[in-house]
Amino acid sequence: MITSVLVANRGEIACRVFRTCGELGIRTVAVHSDADENALHARVADAAVRLPGATPAETYLRGDLIVKAAVAAGADAVHPGYGFLSENADFARAVVDAGLVWIGPPPQAIEAMASKTRAKKLMGLAPLREVAQSDLPVLVKAAAGGGGRGMRIVRRLEDLSAALEGARAEATSAFGDGEVFIEPYVERGRHVEVQVLADAHGTVWALGTRDCSLQRRHQKVIEEAPAPGLSDRLAEELRALAVRAARAVNYVGAGTVEFLVADGTAHFLEMNTRLQVEHPVTEEVHGVDLVALQIAVAEGRRLDPEPPPARGHAVEARLYAEDPAHDWAPQTGTLNRLTVPDSVRLDTGYTDGDAIGVHYDPMLAKVVAHAPTRAAAIRKLAGALERAAVHGPVTNRDLLVRSLRHEEFTTARMDTGFYDRHLPALTEPAPDPHAPLAAALADARRTGSRFGGWRNVPSQPQIRRYALAGEEHEIRYRHTRTGGLEADGVRVVHAAPDLVVLEVDGVRRRFEVARYGDRVHVNTTVLTALPRFPDPTAQHAPGSLLAPMPGTVVRLAEGLAEGAAVQAGQTLLWLEAMKMEHKITAPVTGTLSALHAAVGHQVAVGTLLAVVEEDQDK
C-alpha cells in the first residue's frame, strides 16, 4: 500500500494529484523551485522540498535531486504529473532503483513510445528524412516532450534550416533533449486521441475518445469528450489502435494515443506515456478518477474487465495568462482574483494573490463542464467563463467564450487550423460602452466626496479618464444635493466601490467593479485608470522595440549590430519566456540605430531592446 506520494511536478497537476491523495488518505510531498517557494502546490502539500534554482533545467528536470527529495521526505512513491520528466525513462528507473514505487508505465514502455521517432517506427511509420518542394508544408517536431514546444511549420524550403535550429533550441530548453524530426503537415485535420489505462495483469481499457483540435502554437486550448462527429466505425478503429499500441509495449498505467483525423482516415501521431492535461473530460464522462486508478494500478491491483460506460459530454477550456491578440504573448503579474461558478469544475495551481512568473507555462486553470449533451456542455462552460472573475494580467478568457460560441465549433466542423482562420475576429475588442462610467462612479465612492452629504447647490462636473481598448475615455459625473451621483443619459440606481447599477433606456444592469492599482475590472472589461496629467518622461522614440514580456534574450539575428540595415518584419532577436521563444521583429524598414539587448540579458516588460530609424527615402 502506498502511504506517501511525491509529485515530481508543479502547479495545477501537482495540486490535482494531491487532491486525490488527500481523499485516499495518502500523505503528499511537493518539490519546488525558488521561484515556486510560495506556489500553491508547495503550500498545500504535507511536506515540501526545495530544488535550488529557478529554471526547469536547474529544478524540475533534475531527476537526481527529485529522487533525493523523495527519499529525504519519506515518500514511498513518485507521481510524475505531465511535462518535465514524466516521459523520461532514466528518471523512472532512478525512482525504482531508489526503492520507490513509480506511478507510471514501465521504463521500457516509456523508451518505446516517449520518443516520437521510435514510436513511429514501432507503428511501422517513418518520418521524412529529406524534404523536397513537393513535401511542403512540413512540421518540424521535437522527438521528446509535448505541449507544442519544439514545433515549427515550414512552408518554404529556405525556412527549413532556421526552423530546425529554433525547434532544437526550444526542445533542449524544455525537455533536455534537442532531437527533432520532420513529418508532413496536414492543414485541415482534427486532433483526436484515446485515453488508455492498463494494469499489470493484461487488462487494457480504452476510455473513449477526445477531440483537441482547437490549438494555438500546437498546444491545446479547448478539449472535449467524446470526440464529436466520428462514425462508429472510425471511433472503434481508434480505440482498437490505441489498445494495440499499449499492448505492443506491455503498457501499464495511464497513457494517451494521439491521431490526426483527416477525410475519415486516422493517422498515428504519438503515444504520450503519462496523464494528459485534458484528462478531466474523460473523468467527467466516464465517472472515474484517473489519478486514483493510476495509484491502484501502481499498487498491483486489477482493473475491471471493461471500463465504465460513457455518459453525457464534457468540455474543458484552458485559461492562460496570455494575450491572444498580440501573438499569444504570455503575461506575468499578480493574479488578484480567480473564481468561477460552482456549476463547473476548476482545476488550478493558483489562489487569489499568487504571482504569475516568467519561468513556467502560463496556464492558470482548466475549467470543465459536464452535461447530458454536447450543446448543453458548451453553453454551460461558455456561461461560466463569462461570469468568472479573472482579475490580474491579460488572459484568453474572452477568446475562450467566443471560441465556444463560434458556429464552426458548435456544429463540430472545427480543425487544427481554427485559430489561423478566425483569430482576428475572435480577438476584436468589444468593450462594454458603459464600463468607463461604472468605473468612474465606483472610484468616486472609493475615494469619497470632499463635499459630504446634502448640499444647497449641485456640484461642478467631476472628470476621470480611463484607457480602454487602445482609446482614452473621459468620464463626467456630478454629485447631487442629496449625496448621490448622476451622469447624463443614464440613471444611477446604486453606486458603491464594488458594485454599480445603471438604468439605460429602461434596462437595469449590474456592474461588479474591482480595482488593483491603476487596473479596473468592470465585469469582464478591463480598464486602466489614467492620471490627470500624463507623465512626459514615459515616451519612446519612434521605432523603439520594447520587451512585450519579461524574459531572457536567447539569440540575436546573425550579424546584428548598430548601423545595420533591416527590413520591416525581420526578426532581430528572440526572447525566451515561459519556456517558449518569442520573436522581436523590426517595426519598419530602416537602420538599426541602437541595440540595447545582448544574449543572456534578463529584461522586464517595457525594457528598450533596440531602435530602428525608418528609411525616409522609400
Using only C-alpha atoms, what is the Rg of the chain?
Answer: 26
Q: Do 13 and 82 contact (CB within 8 A), yes or no?
A: yes
Q: Which of 162-166, 336-340, 472-476, 532-536 has the lowest mean pLDDT?
A: 532-536
pLDDT level of residue 128 (50, 70, 90 thresholds): low
**Grid cell in block for residue 154:** 515550414
* pLDDT tens string 189-214: 999 999 999 999 999 999 999 999 99
User: Collapsing DSSP states into helix, strand and coil, what is residue 40?
Assistant: helix
Residue 536 confidence (pLDDT): 47
**In degrees rounded to 5, what are phi and psi of residue 473?**
-120, 125
Alpha-carbon gap, residue 106 to 92, rounded angstroms? 8
* Three-class SS of 78-95: EECCCCCCCCCHHHHHHH
More confidently predicted of 289 and 358 = 289
**Grid cell in block for residue 235:** 471511433
pLDDT level of residue 452 (50, 70, 90 thresholds): very low
For the cut 50, the answer to whether the pLDDT of residue 481 exceeds it is yes
Instruction: Tell me what the mean pLDDT of segment 359-379 comes to.
Output: 97
Nearest to 437 by CA among 488, 390, 387: 488
Bridge partners for 370 per DSSP: 314
Domains annotated for the chain, with CATH where assigned, are 4-103 (3.40.50.20), 116-184 (3.30.1490.20), 190-403 (3.30.470.20), 435-530 (3.30.700.40), 544-614 (2.40.50.100)
Bridge partners for 595 per DSSP: 610
Residue 67 confidence (pLDDT): 98
Instruction: Tell me what the mean pLDDT of segment 16-40 comes to.
Output: 98
Q: To the nearest 10°, the Cα dihedral for 64, 69, 74, 77?
A: -60
Residue 534 confidence (pLDDT): 53
**In degrees rounded to 5, what are phi and psi of residue 112?**
-70, -35
Which helix (DSSP H) or strand (DSSP E) does residue 57 occupy? none
Instruction: Tell me what the mean pLDDT of segment 442-459 comes to.
Output: 66
User: What percentage of residues in the chain have a pLDDT greater than 70?
Assistant: 94
Q: Do 359 and 35 contact (CB within 8 A), yes or no?
A: yes
Question: Where are the strands (E) in 322-380, listed by range?
Answer: 322-323, 329-330, 333-335, 337-339, 345-348, 354-356, 363-371
pLDDT level of residue 126 (50, 70, 90 thresholds): low
Q: Do 442 and 514 contact (CB within 8 A), yes or no?
A: no
Q: Do 56 and 9 contact (CB within 8 A), yes or no?
A: no
Instruction: Tell me what the mean pLDDT of segment 36-40 comes to.
Output: 97
Instruction: Give every strand in the sheet of 219-225, ordered side by side.
Output: 265-272, 253-262, 190-198, 204-216, 219-225, 313-320, 363-371, 345-348
Distances, alpha carbon 509 to alpha carbons 439, 500, 504, in Å: 14, 8, 8
Q: Do 576 and 173 contact (CB within 8 A), yes or no?
A: yes
User: Collapsing DSSP states into helix, strand and coil, what is residue 573?
Assistant: strand
DSSP 450-473: TT-S--SSPPPPEEEEEEETTEEE
Residue 537 confidence (pLDDT): 45
Q: To the nearest 10°, the Cα dihedral for 219, 223, 225, 228?
A: -100
* pLDDT tens string 270-309: 899 999 999 999 999 999 999 999 999 999 999 999 999 9
Alpha-carbon gap, residue 250 to 424, rounded angstroms? 46
Q: Do 196 and 255 contact (CB within 8 A), yes or no?
A: yes
Give the number of C-alpha atoms closer than 13 A to the C-alpha of residue 4, restricted to the C-beta side. 15
Alpha-carbon gap, residue 350 to 12, rounded angstroms? 8
Residue 186 confidence (pLDDT): 79
User: What percentage of residues in the chain have a pLDDT greater than 90?
Assistant: 73
The residues annotated as belonging to the active site are 274
